Amino acid sequence: MNEIKILGAYGTKSKGFGTSAFYLDEKNVIDAGNLLKPLEEKSALIENIWLTHSHLDHICDIAYIIDNYFSYRNTTLNIIGLPETIKAVKKHFLNDLIWPDFSVIHMHNSKQMTVRYTEIEIGTRYKIDENSSIEAFKTDHTVPSCGYIFTKENKSILITADTYSLDTAIHLIESRKDINSFVVECSFPSDMEALAKESKHLTPKILFEKLEVLKRDDIRLYINHIKPLFLEKMIKEIAYYRGKWEPKILEDEEIINF
């Protein structure tokens, strides 16, 4: 069976809670919210970071895995995302003001630069290795954003990351039987619906309303990106609104088999 590891499952950092990051394999992660703590020196082996969008809770550990293990690295770190995401990281994060521009700094052990950037397109399947590939799909957030479908041995997991609309994700799940697992965000409790809409996130009530049109019932549902402060309240709300679904609320360092 295929597996991915949840390195960070929550919508903001807090004591004992990490932000979004998914460990696909030794060299590939989706998002960089929480890499350093769970991976320690294995962080130095990461070669590709597939970003969903430019928000800090999804990019922050890029800064620290480079800094901590600078002398261990011997491959360039490839930061991958939509053109707007790459532009935002270059201009507002690794810009020599907030953090060094590592795309012009040589690695300690090599003539190659520490960081490079790769822009991707929605709907194109990118090969990771002989058995696995990854494809971005459009999501609906306050900045340009995407989710990913990770495929291994012809089985797939779909990860939405931050989004308000689930239309594209639901369409993909209905049309692709290889998708057997679905990780969806849910950030705020249902009485904070106005803030959720404005910040383009979901509440338990909105999430399960949107899932009503999804006809498939042979798919495993996982929830991430809960704000830790509201965890207890949202666990109760998810149980109340879940309907036919049996969602699993993800925790840091949990494994998903798909």
Q: Which CB atom, from 25 or from 57, has the smaller least distance to Zn ion?
A: 57
**3-state class (DSSP) for residue 2:** coil
Closest distance of CB 173 from Zn ion, Å: 21
Closest distance of CB 222 from Zn ion, Å: 16
- The identity of residue 221, as a single letter, is L
Closest distance of CB 198 from Zn ion, Å: 12
R_g of the chain computed on alpha carbons: 18
Report the DSSP beta bridge partners of residue 149: 135, 158
Closest distance of CB 174 from Zn ion, Å: 25
Q: Which of residues 40-69 bind Zn ion (CB under 5 A)?
A: 55, 57
Q: Which CB atom, from 4 or from 44, has the smaller least distance to Zn ion?
A: 4
Q: Which CB atom, from 9 or from 80, has the smaller least distance to Zn ion?
A: 9
Size of the site for Zn ion (CB under 5 A): 3
68 phi-psi bin (left φ>0, alpha ψ -120 to 50, beta other): alpha
CA distances to 29, 133, 209, 226, 234 from 242, rounded to whole Å, are 29, 31, 9, 16, 11
Q: Which residue stretches of 53-143 are H helix?
A: 56-68, 83-92
Closest distance of CB 160 from Zn ion, Å: 11
Contact flags string 89-128 toward Zn ion, x per CB under 5 A: ----------------------------------------
Alpha carbon distance 27, 45 (integer Å): 6
Q: Which CB atom, from 45 or from 249, has the smaller least distance to Zn ion?
A: 249
CB 6 within 8 A of CB 35: no
Query: Counting contacts by CB under 5 A, is residue 162 touching Zn ion?
Result: yes
Query: Counting contacts by CB under 5 A, is residue 227 touching Zn ion?
Result: no
CB 92 within 8 A of CB 85: no
Q: Which CB atom, from 57 or from 61, has the smaller least distance to Zn ion?
A: 57
Alpha carbon distance 189, 144 (integer Å): 24
Closest distance of CB 116 from Zn ion, Å: 24
Query: Counting contacts by CB under 5 A, is residue 135 touching Zn ion?
Result: no
- The identity of residue 101, as a single letter, is D
Query: Using CB under 5 A, which of the segments 2-10, 158-166, 231-239, 242-250 binds Zn ion?
Result: 158-166
Residues that bind Zn ion (CB under 5 A): 55, 57, 162
